[in-house]
């Protein structure tokens, strides 16, 4: 018996672990079963957002049905924390007569430690474990400097990544053929493994699940949006992005599938900024950069900054200010609209993520870890590598060539990327009737109108910016 352990790779197509399990392995052909471990307590400890948990459970139902159609049973275990996983998988392996375990490699430190413990436990039972790269186009460790170290800056990494991809190439594999007669599938909500008050089995209509939906979004974007992506991606009121991030984070679509589809759409693989499609490919390379970085720099999984010296930054602690930021009550319209959108939908446009992260760290001078945690607790596409990388980039503590004095001005960012206030008016109802010319600095107009339903700016950006720069300058002098 071969057991495929699904984690953040909830798909059939282009799934290396599943493909190898379903193929001959050293001449041995045998039955294949699948496994997913539901870990509510661990998810809570890792601040996995409820909307993301429900998204994963809905996709798990889809995966179970798809596997059943292939004749592959999906076994579900509810194991509250990672510490209990090795024993529970070991017991399942004994019951099923498993001789081989197949799984795609995890990049997060806790997950790597869990997987090592599982491998060791199974080895003691005579079960061999096989691990594959299923989360990146190129496996972590493939793209290194001349001295065999991880790149600390994105641009040289991206050049080396493109070169390595040309050298290595890659192949997309279809879903495996049926292994036997179709099997019945019992909906997850009927198994007793999930609290029905938390999830009743209904997918979120905002985020339909399934590989077909992920492929639909991918190809719709490539057909209608990829060529204009460089011009539209920064405007949150426009449908200028792919909205694939939840599907990539859950592994419903692979980054290899995205690169292959882009190449098929264009007839070539873009190599430089001047070529159509490169801007979106570059975003996929950013994703690779953060994932490689997370795996090769364990400190990033331990709440530590990439730049060790920045641990000494004197971040402030102001619960009232943090609450105002979380709830969208800062008095800066673009920040407030972004946070209210996140709280309501579980998703935020990438430009807005940069704006609100800069505001928390450089205007309010609060620790980036507070923002990182809050995002994870709300995002449907919460992904440790991308989330940590983005927050440390904004805070000036991460792998970034830009100087520490990069500070986003929330007013000018709003004026530039939501010039007519279309996005702001959706989410900040108090500002619907403010004249467009005044929308990004509405306080004086609201006072004149005798209105007190929207807060004044909680900080003076110019002064806050100077203080942020001073924090880093003081650090350099130490």
Q: By the 8 A CB rule, do 293 and 384 touch? A: no
Query: Would you state the structure tokens that stand for residue 21, as one six-digit string?
Result: 């399990």
Q: What are phi and psi of 6, to 5 degrees?
A: -85, 145
What element of type H or E holds 6? Answer: strand 2-6
Catalytic residue (one of 391, 393, 409, 427)? 391
Catalytic residue (one of 161, 347, 368, 393)? 368
How many residues would you count in the chain?
A: 478
- Our answer to whether residue 303 is catalytic in this structure is no
Q: By the 8 A CB rule, do 17 and 132 touch? A: yes
DSSP state, residue 106 = P
Catalytic residue (one of 131, 315, 343, 430)? 315
- Our answer to whether residue 286 is catalytic in this structure is yes
Catalytic residue (one of 283, 343, 430, 445)? 283
Q: By the 8 A CB rule, do 365 and 464 touch? A: yes
The residues, any chain, with a CB within 8 Å of residue 293's CB and separated by 6 or more, are 150, 300, 306, 385, 389, 399
**CA dihedral for 178, 179, 182, 186, sign (positive or negative):** negative
- Our answer to whether residue 199 is catalytic in this structure is no
Kindly list the strands in the beta sheet with 100-104, ordered across the sheet, starting from the edge strand earlier in the chain: 74-78, 32-38, 2-6, 100-104, 128-132
Q: By the 8 A CB rule, do 325 and 356 touch? A: yes
Query: Would you state the structure tokens that stand for residue 55, as one six-digit string?
Result: 């998204």
- List of E strands, 202-357: none
- Our answer to whether residue 5 is catalytic in this structure is no
The Cα–Cα gap between 175 and 153 comes to: 36
Do the bridges between strand 32-38 and strand 128-132 make them parallel or antiparallel, or are there none, so unpaired? unpaired
Catalytic residue (one of 80, 350, 430, 445)? 350
Give, in order, the Cα–Cα distances in Å from 104 to each of 21, 39, 111, 206, 377: 11, 18, 11, 28, 25
The Cα–Cα gap between 236 and 337 comes to: 10
**Sequential DSSP letters for 175-231:** PPPP-SS------GGGTTSS-TTT--SPPPTTS--SHHHHHHHHHHHHHHTGGGHHH
Interior angle at CA 390, CA 352 and CA 245, nearest 5: 70
Catalytic residue (one of 286, 325, 347, 427)? 286
| Catalytic annotation, residues | 283, 286, 315, 350, 368, 391
């Amino acid at each position: 018996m071969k057991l495929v352990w699904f984690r953040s790779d909830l798909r059939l197509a282009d799934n290396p672990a599943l493909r190898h399990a379903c193929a001959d392995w050293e001449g041995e052909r045998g039955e294949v079963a699948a496994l997913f471990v539901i870990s509510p307590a661990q998810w809570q400890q890792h601040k996995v957002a409820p909307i993301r948990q429900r998204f994963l459970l809905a996709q798990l139902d889809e995966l179970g049905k798809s596997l059943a159609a292939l004749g592959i049973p999906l076994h579900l275990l509810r194991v509250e924390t990672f510490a209990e996983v090795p024993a529970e998988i070991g017991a399942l392996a004994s019951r099923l007569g498993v001789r081989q375990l197949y799984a795609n490699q995890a990049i997060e430190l806790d997950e790597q430690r869990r997987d090592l413990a599982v491998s060791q436990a199974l080895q003691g039972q005579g079960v061999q474990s096989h691990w594959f790269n299923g989360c990146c186009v190129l496996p972590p460790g493939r793209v290194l400097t001349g001295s065999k170290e991880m790149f600390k800056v994105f641009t040289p990494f991206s050049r080396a990544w493109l070169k390595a991809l040309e050298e290595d190439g890659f192949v997309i594999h279809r879903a495996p053929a049926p292994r036997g007669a179709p099997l019945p599938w019992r909906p997850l909500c009927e198994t007793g493994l999930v609290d029905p008050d938390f999830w009743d089995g209904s997918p979120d209509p905002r985020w339909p699940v399934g590989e077909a939906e992920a492929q639909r979004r991918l190809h719709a974007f490539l057909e209608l949006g990829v060529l204009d992506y460089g011009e539209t991606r920064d405007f949150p009121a426009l449908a200028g992005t792919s909205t694939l991030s939840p599907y990539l984070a859950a592994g419903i679509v692979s980054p290899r599938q995205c690169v292959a589809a882009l190449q098929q759409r264009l007839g070539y693989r873009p190599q430089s900024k001047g070529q159509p499609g490169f801007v979106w490919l570059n975003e996929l390379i950013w994703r690779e950069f953060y994932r490689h970085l997370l795996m090769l720099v364990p400190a990033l999984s331990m709440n530590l900054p990439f730049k060790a010296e920045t641990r000494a930054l004197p971040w402030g602690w102001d619960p009232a200010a943090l609450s105002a930021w979380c709830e969208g009550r800062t008095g800066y319209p673009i920040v407030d609209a972004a946070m209210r959108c996140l709280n309501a939908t579980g998703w935020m446009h990438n430009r807005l993520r940069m704006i609100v992260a800069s505001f928390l760290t450089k205007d309010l001078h609060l620790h980036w870890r507070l923002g990182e945690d809050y995002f994870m607790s709300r995002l449907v596409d919460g992904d440790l590598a991308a989330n940590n990388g983005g927050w440390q980039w904004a805070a000036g503590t991460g792998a970034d060539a830009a100087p520490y004095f990069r500070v986003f001005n929330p007013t000018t960012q709003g004026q530039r990327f939501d010039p007519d206030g279309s996005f702001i008016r959706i989410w900040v109802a108090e500002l619907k009737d403010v004249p467009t010319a005044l929308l990004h600095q509405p306080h004086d107009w609201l006072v004149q109108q005798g209105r007190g339903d929207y807060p004044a700016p909680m900080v003076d950006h110019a002064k806050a910016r100077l203080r942020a720069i001073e924090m880093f300058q003081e650090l350099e002098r130490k």
